Amino acid sequence: MTQEHPADPLCAFAQHDHAHCAGEVLARASAEAERRGLRFTPVRKRALEILLEAHRAMGAYEVLDRLAAEGFGNQPPVAYRALEFLVEAGLAHRVQRLNAFAACMHPGEAHAPVFLICRDCDTVAEAGAAPLRMALDQVAGDLGFSVERASFEALGLCPACRAKAAENTAEAQP
């Protein structure tokens, strides 16, 4: 494990060398797929690369358009199957609120993610939700309920958009 964690949630919201960040995550995802003997076919790998191009979630049709433009076929199942594979393999996540998909920034690590979605610039950051999950298990457990799956998504403003909003408010003042 490297000292500087390119998949640090801060990364999504800060200026950074994203090519390095995406390359690192892709390498980890490939290693994980190989370790588990998954069939990481070219179309599946390409779908992950497309998701990794920016820290945001993409709809299945957006991914399909890209795959089709690159000659992977233009039938919706092409994209759906690739995305489903990625989600099932834990290499991507479904972001329910956006009805879209985001590359997992921690492939191969056991984690409960929380997605922080900027409502202004659509940036999506994946952060650790272990404390949230523990709190949820506690609340559910008190009711005799056992949680099997849970997703955590929050909508708000990222640091850059907050700064922009603050500037605009300051300018609006006389």
Contact positions vs Zn ion (CB under 5 A): 11, 18, 21, 104, 106, 113, 118, 120-121, 123, 158, 161
> How many residues are given for the chain?
174
Nearer to Zn ion, 78 or 95 (CB): 95
Cβ 79 to Zn ion shortest distance, Å: 20
Cβ 68 to Zn ion shortest distance, Å: 26
What span, in angstroms and rounded, lies between the C-alpha atoms of 166 and 65?
A: 37
Cβ 102 to Zn ion shortest distance, Å: 8
Residues with Cβ within 8 Å of residue 85, at least 6 apart in sequence: 38, 44
Cβ 16 to Zn ion shortest distance, Å: 5
Nearer to Zn ion, 68 or 164 (CB): 164
Pairing of strands 113-118, 152-156: parallel
Three state DSSP letters for 31-55:
HHHHHCCCCCCHHHHHHHHHHCCCC
Nearer to Zn ion, 43 or 87 (CB): 87
What span, in angstroms and rounded, lies between the C-alpha atoms of 103 and 48?
A: 6
Nearer to Zn ion, 28 or 78 (CB): 28
